[in-house]
Amino acid sequence: MANLTDYIDFSQPTFYYALANILFNPIYWNILARAEYRSHILTRLAGGSAFFGCAVLAVSIFSLGIFRDYLYHEALAVQPTLALLDTDLVKAIAAVCFTVGSTFVVSSMWALGFTGTYLGDYFGILMKERVTGFPFNVTDDPMYTGSTLSFLATALWYASPAGLLLTFVVHVVYRVALAFEGPFTAQIYANKDKKKN
Ligand SMILES: *[C@@H]1O[C@H](CO)[C@@H](O)[C@H](O)[C@H]1NC(C)=O
Ligand SMILES: *[C@@H]1O[C@H](CO)[C@@H](O)[C@H](O)[C@H]1NC(C)=O
């Protein structure tokens, strides 16, 4: 009978490093962004410049993302592969997922701009209006959808059940992050409108 441990090697420490980083990153940026919103701590540490504070946070988030990709690849490298997934068709699907995912991430960064991408609204750097063009007319959360698709692409490319499991964790973590971030961001913009009126 199927035994999960035949497909995923839970004795590999690299699996847990990747898992820990996947869980940590959104917690990290939510805690810092909310602390900034409440007390402007990052702006103050950046000598009073909201933009510079946001840039420092952006660099740290970006670096954590690179580190997460590295840990994910390291983890998959020592995991069992599944012959069923080791086909040209699955590789082709992986390539499509990677292309669509990267397009979502890059185009949403382009549409949102630097501060819009990296939580600038928590620093009081607000978007003038809601971005509704591509890719936001295709998916509400292109950054998270795109990132998840990139994880999925890698898992499929390496025919890795462990990769699929970690991708699922990424998906759940982003869902939780959205449930947490969405209402808060809406509140920030509601407060801004209140001040204006
Ligand atoms: C699955 O495999 C593990 C490790 O080889 C073993 O300890 C466990 O008893 C197995 N479980 C089942 C349901 O066969
Ligand atoms: C989204 O917007 C782009 C241009 O901004 C357009 O080309 C595309 O057809 C739109 N997609 C949908 C599903 O509306």
Q: Can you give the pLDDT at residue 197? A: 55
Token representation of residue 166: 């970690």
**How many CB atoms within 10 Å of residue 192?**
12
Over residues 54-74, the mean pLDDT reads: 97
| Average confidence (pLDDT) over 75-98 | 97
Alpha-carbon distance of 97 to 113, in angstroms, equals 24
What is residue 186's predicted lDDT score, i.e. its pLDDT?
Answer: 87
Indicate the pLDDT class of residue 1, thresholds 50, 70 and 90.
low
Alpha-carbon gap, residue 139 to 119, rounded angstroms = 19
182 known member of a binding site:
yes
pLDDT of 131 over the 90 cut: no
Closest CA to 149 of 112, 180, 104, 117: 104
Confidence tier at 123 by pLDDT (50, 70, 90): very high
Q: Which of 54, 97, 76, 63 is nearest to 8 (CA)?
A: 76
Distance CA 58, CA 120 (A): 9
Mean pLDDT of all residues in 72-90? 97
Residue 52: predicted pLDDT: 96
Q: Taking 60 as the threshold, does the pLDDT of residue 172 lie above it? A: yes
User: What is the identity of the amino acid at 65?
Assistant: G
Would you say 83 and 159 are in contact if contact means Cβ atoms under 8 Å apart? Answer: yes
**Of 193, 108, 99, the residue nearest 149 (C-alpha):** 99
Where in the chain are the domains?
12-196
The residue whose C-alpha atom lies closest to atom 9 belonging to ligand 1 is: 3
User: For a pocket test of ligand 1, which of 4, 5, 6 has the largest count of ligand atoms closer than 8 A to its C-beta?
Assistant: 5
pLDDT for the residue 127: 86
Is the sign of the CA dihedral 110, 140, 155, 159 positive or negative? negative
Report pTM: 0.91
Q: What is the pLDDT of residue 73?
A: 97
Is residue 69 scored above 70 in pLDDT?
Answer: yes
Pocket of ligand 1 (CB under 6 A): 3, 5
Question: Is 101 annotated as belonging to a binding site?
Answer: yes
The dihedral sign for the CA sequence 137, 28, 52, 189 = positive
